[in-house]
Amino acid sequence: MQVRSAVIPAAGMGTRFLPATKAVPKELFPIGDQPALQIVIDEALGAGIDHIVVVSSRDKPAVAQYFEPNEALLNKLDDSGKTALAERLRSIGRDWRVSIVYQDNPKGLGHAVGCAREAIGEEPFAVMLPDELMGSSALLAQMNGVCSSTEGSVVAVANVPRELVSSYGVIDPAGELSADGVIPVRDLVEKPSVEDAPSNFIITGRYVLTADAWAEIDALQPGRGGELQLTDALKAQAARSPFHAVVSDVSRHDTGNPLGFLTASIELGLTNPELRDDLRTFLANLQV
């Protein structure tokens, strides 16, 4: 059972990046020469996914525009001999499919994911929060395999210091961690207090969910912060079906705030063969 579709919720206002997000959606901010959104899509493609469902907002038309072919631009690049670049632009959406759906009211992550139900249909699917960049497809590919072998949903988690748990969804493990980093889950709680958190394993922004999650998402009632929380739908799922977490040690970048975005740009720049050497020299000589 290969997961074919991924939902990328990208309808947020990007308030933490104002005024930059007044005109440009933060999912299109560049990391090197790539929009952050494309890096998340590449991660999905590397895990065998070939249908990307972006949940956008009508206030962010540039997100849909990124996927539309621009013949005039392609012709100009071809005419000026920039064929490799033209080829890169042509490859956007060529071997994979993109669907844009709209979330017109910001009612929470559970609601945003629910907007993708019709585009995906009754099959397992991934959810990828684009504020987090994972640096490789390995984690998602492993989660896909665990979903397939356990026939249940899977979340990615990270073990963090206790004081951080109240900003995240947290799992309640039902057993021991296996040698390959998989742990059974009996419950999930959205942003618990430090005292009440059932563990130090926070949900990071990757999920592989079985199709029965849709019914739980549709039935969501307002939870933490008055929002429809994806974690609450998973809580209901974990109460009656197999549910696992994969503890990830892949390097994870939180681009949801300006500092995280800057550090992600630097770290990913250092893995890019075209930027690496000059960037390293610049950083070594920096005197501020």
Report the candidate in 151, 101, 264, 131 with the shortest Cα–Cα distance to residue 205.
131
Q: Identify the bridge partners of residue 55 per DSSP, sorted by sequence position.
A: 9, 101
Closest CB 230 distance from ligand G1P, rounded Å? 6
Pair type for strands 125-128 and 169-173: unpaired
Residues 281 and 288: their CA atoms lie apart, in Å, by: 15
Q: Residue with CB nearest ligand G1P?
A: 169
Q: Does 129 bind ligand G1P (CB under 6 A)?
A: yes
**Among 83-91, 179-187, 223-231, 237-245, the segment contacting ligand G1P (CB under 6 A):** 223-231
**Among 30-38, 43-51, 85-93, 228-236, the segment contacting ligand G1P (CB under 6 A):** 228-236
Residues 202 and 189: their CA atoms lie apart, in Å, by: 10
Out of 40, 109, 140, 143, the only residue in the binding site for ligand G1P (CB under 6 A) is 109
Residues 67 and 62: their CA atoms lie apart, in Å, by: 9
Report the candidate in 136, 213, 207 with the shortest Cα–Cα distance to residue 171.
207
Q: Does 223 bind ligand G1P (CB under 6 A)?
A: no
Out of 14, 25, 114, 169, the only residue in the binding site for ligand G1P (CB under 6 A) is 169
For residues 146 and 243, the answer to whether their CB atoms sit within 8 Å is no
Q: Does 43 bind ligand G1P (CB under 6 A)?
A: no
Closest CB 229 distance from ligand G1P, rounded Å? 6
Closest CB 264 distance from ligand G1P, rounded Å? 14
3 state SS of 212: coil
Residues 283 and 278: their CA atoms lie apart, in Å, by: 9
Out of 28, 113, 119, 202, the only residue in the binding site for ligand G1P (CB under 6 A) is 202
**Among 67-75, 111-119, 227-235, 265-273, the segment contacting ligand G1P (CB under 6 A):** 227-235
Give me the residue label for tokens 């497809």: 137
**In this structure, what are the phi and psi dihedrals at residue 16, rounded to the nearest 5 degrees?**
-70, -10
- Give the per-residue contact string, 48-87, with ligand G1P (x = CB under 6 A; - = no): ----------------------------------------
Which positions ≥6 away from 64 have C-beta within 8 Å? Answer: 54, 56, 100
Q: Does 190 bind ligand G1P (CB under 6 A)?
A: yes
Closest CB 169 distance from ligand G1P, rounded Å? 2
Q: Which residues bind ligand G1P (CB under 6 A)?
A: 109, 129, 132, 168-169, 190, 202-205, 229-231
